[in-house]
């Protein structure tokens, strides 16, 4: 059965909805340019509400060590890197903090999938996400979708997850086409950028459970 991460959470109500309806992971974004940015102190208060069975993931874009230190101190158990981090940087982050590190790989064409293999010895999981338009301020969370058929026949170098353009209506297709067992959603459960909706969270997770 596939599982899901609800990303970009910032309120008790939406966090509680994600947990109550079966999310396997909850995500907190530490990136000032994002409408979902959260400061470590607020994140720490929310993470205290997260039960041990649910993974707390911190999402970063080319972070410095100080930001990572603050976020790990807040209680995140997994680091998700969504910027231009090299394999060496990913390995260094993992060595510094001793917790799992996920690396996002932006995808538009089949050739983009080859990037995942560069992180085989550095990351614990690859997150395939839609490549944003050139010049975009954000590397993800814009509701963009890549051609999921590109993943058919692809040899994955690591465990992997799927992101980009997901919502309650499309998740069944996503699982059927790609075989994904972990789905990562942010904008697809929002009323507007950064504003999560408890009903959309519930509907998405119910769709995941039926997939």
| Residues acting as catalytic residues | 7, 129
Rounded-to-integer distance, Cα 22 and Cα 3, Å? 8
In the chain, DSSP finds a helix count (H) and a strand count (E) of 6, 10
Cα dihedral sign for 164, 165, 171, 173? negative
Cα separation, 34 vs 134, in Å, equals 17
Sequence-separated (6 or more) residues with CB below 8 Å from residue 108: 130, 131, 146
Q: Are 182 and 161 in contact (CB under 8 A)?
A: yes
């Amino acid at each position: 059965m596939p599982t899901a991460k609800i990303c970009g959470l910032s309120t008790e109500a939406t966090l509680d909805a994600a947990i109550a309806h079966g999310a396997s992971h909850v995500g907190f974004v530490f990136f000032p340019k994002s409408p979902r940015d959260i400061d470590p102190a607020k994140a720490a208060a929310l993470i205290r509400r997260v039960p041990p069975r649910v993974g707390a993931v911190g999402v970063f874009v080319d972070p410095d060590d100080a930001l990572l230190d603050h976020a790990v101190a807040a209680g995140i158990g997994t680091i998700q890197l969504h910027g231009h981090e090299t394999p060496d940087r990913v390995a260094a982050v993992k060595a510094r903090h001793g917790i799992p590190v996920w690396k996002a790989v932006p995808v538009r064409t089949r050739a983009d999938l080859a990037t995942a293999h560069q992180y085989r010895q550095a990351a614990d999981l690859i997150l395939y996400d839609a490549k944003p338009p050139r010049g975009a301020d954000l590397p993800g969370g814009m509701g963009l979708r890549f051609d999921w058929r590109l993943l058919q026949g692809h040899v994955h170098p690591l465990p992997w997850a799927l992101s980009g353009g997901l919502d309650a209506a499309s998740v069944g297709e996503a699982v059927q086409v790609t075989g994904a067992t972990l789905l990562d959603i942010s904008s697809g459960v929002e009323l507007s950028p950064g504003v999560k909706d408890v009903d959309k969270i519930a509907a998405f997770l119910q769709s995941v459970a039926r997939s």
